[in-house]
Amino acid sequence: TAMGALMRQYWIPALMSSELPKPDGPPVRVRVLGENLVAFRVTSGKVGLIQSNCPHRGASLFFGRNEEEGLRCVYHGWKFDCEGACVDMPSEPEESTFKSRVRARAYPCLERNDIVWTYMGSRSTPPPLPDIEPNLLAQGEYANQKVLRECNWFQALEGDIDTGHLSF
């Protein structure tokens, strides 16, 4: 949608850091702007956010093994890093370069103040993460909460800005 295309041009909070508590832990399903994705934290602590299905045969990467800096599909063992590059393809001979031509759709992530932000837009270089107050506070000076609302995000924002709506 037009609003979805606009929203993708900005950093979006995708999940809380506590939802990916430890490196090499199990992947987490995430739905952002109507897109089903899988989030995972690799060995080094970096967060990856990639398409929910393997580009090879469509197996769910939610069931993938998170190991040694990548998420391995349990169907044929193809392994993807946080940028979506295929870094291992066990069924191919060592000299094969096929894996270098395979990519999963992935979105860059940044973590600040216990929130994992993602940029889903088309720019090759994302804009800077916004310097809004919650991103600038020191540890212990902020509190995050996550609320599931069964509604359109933009309509919810519009309704919440006018505090007169809250009492009704």
The mean-pLDDT minimum among 50-59, 101-110, 134-143 falls in 134-143
Is residue 166's pLDDT more than 70? no
CA distance 110 to 8: 15
What predicted TM-score, i.e. pTM, was given to this entire model?
0.86
Mean pLDDT, the chain, whole residue set: 90
Q: What are phi and psi of 154, to 5 degrees?
A: -65, -40
Give the burial class of 59: count Cβ atoms within 10 A of its Cβ; 0-12 exposed, 13-18 middle, 19 or more buried.
Answer: middle
| Per-residue pLDDT at 152 exceeds 90 | no
d(CA 143, CA 70): 30
How far is residue 73's CA from residue 55's CA, in Å, rounded to a whole number?
10
| pLDDT over threshold 70, residue 28 | yes
Looking at residue 85, what is its pLDDT? Answer: 97
**Element at 2 (helix H, strand E):** helix 2-7
Q: Averaged over 38-47, what is the pLDDT?
A: 97
